[in-house]
């Protein structure tokens, strides 16, 4: 039982490495902002996405490997969470402000707004999540290569 307390804890990548704790911490907020803006989380200059949702393999400016990302279903989940709550709140607010708004307006406004917001925010949330994974050295982002500034 005493041996379990001495066992090293796994890192984000699942590997047992004492060296992982000695590497400098990456700042999460700039990485999130850069990713949200569609820029490389490391340098903030190179493009993160090569098409609507495809992540570049490497940053063209600093060479940071970006193919390690595992965003999976998180970007659509976050998009639905944010857009659903925002549009839902706007619908309720509209009922308070303009209770006699014709149903045709509701049928035109809310689905259109939801579609536009989802299409606009999905790549941004994907970029932010890739930046978050990079900042926390998740998956393969825990390389020994020095970070750009
Ligand atoms: Zn870069």
Per-residue pLDDT, 141: 79
If you average pLDDT over residues 120-128, what whole number do you get? 97
Per-residue pLDDT, 145: 67
From residue 54, alpha-carbon distances to 43, 67, 100, 145 in Å are: 19, 10, 44, 24
Per-residue pLDDT, 148: 72
Q: What pTM did the predictor assign?
A: 0.79
**What spacing in Å lies between the alpha carbon of 20 and ligand 1's midpoint?**
22
Q: Is the pLDDT of residue 17 over 90?
A: no
Domain ranges of the chain: 25-135
Per-residue pLDDT, 25: 84
Which tokens hold the place of 108? Answer: 């035109």
Angle at 126 between CA 56 and CA 60, to 5 degrees: 20
Evaluate whether 62 touches 69 at the Cβ level (below 8 Å).
no
pLDDT one-digit tens code per residue, 35-77: 999 999 999 999 999 999 999 999 999 888 898 888 889 999 9
**Average pLDDT, rounded, for the chain:** 86
Per-residue pLDDT, 2: 44
User: Nearest 5°: phi and psi at 76?
Assistant: -65, -35
pLDDT one-digit tens code per residue, 108-118: 999 999 999 99
**What spacing in Å lies between the alpha carbon of 138 and ligand 1's midpoint?**
17
pLDDT one-digit tens code per residue, 126-136: 999 999 999 98
Per-residue pLDDT, 20: 54
CB-proximal residues (5 Å) to ion ligand 1: 40, 42-43, 46, 59, 61-62, 64
């Amino acid at each position: 039982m005493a041996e379990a307390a001495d066992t090293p804890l796994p890192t984000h990548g699942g590997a047992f490495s004492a060296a992982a704790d000695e590497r400098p911490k990456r700042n999460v907020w700039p990485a999130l902002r850069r990713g949200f803006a569609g820029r490389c989380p490391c340098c903030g200059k190179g493009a993160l996405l090569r098409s609507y949702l495809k992540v570049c393999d490497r940053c063209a400016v600093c060479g940071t490997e970006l193919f390690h990302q595992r965003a999976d279903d998180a970007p659509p989940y976050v998009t639905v969470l944010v857009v659903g709550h925002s549009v839902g709140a706007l619908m309720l607010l509209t009922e308070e402000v303009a209770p006699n708004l014709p149903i045709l307006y509701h049928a035109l406004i809310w689905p259109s707004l939801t579609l536009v917001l989802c299409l606009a925010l999905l790549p941004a949330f994907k970029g932010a999540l890739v930046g978050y994974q990079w900042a926390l050295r998740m998956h393969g982002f825990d390389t020994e290569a020095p970070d750009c500034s």
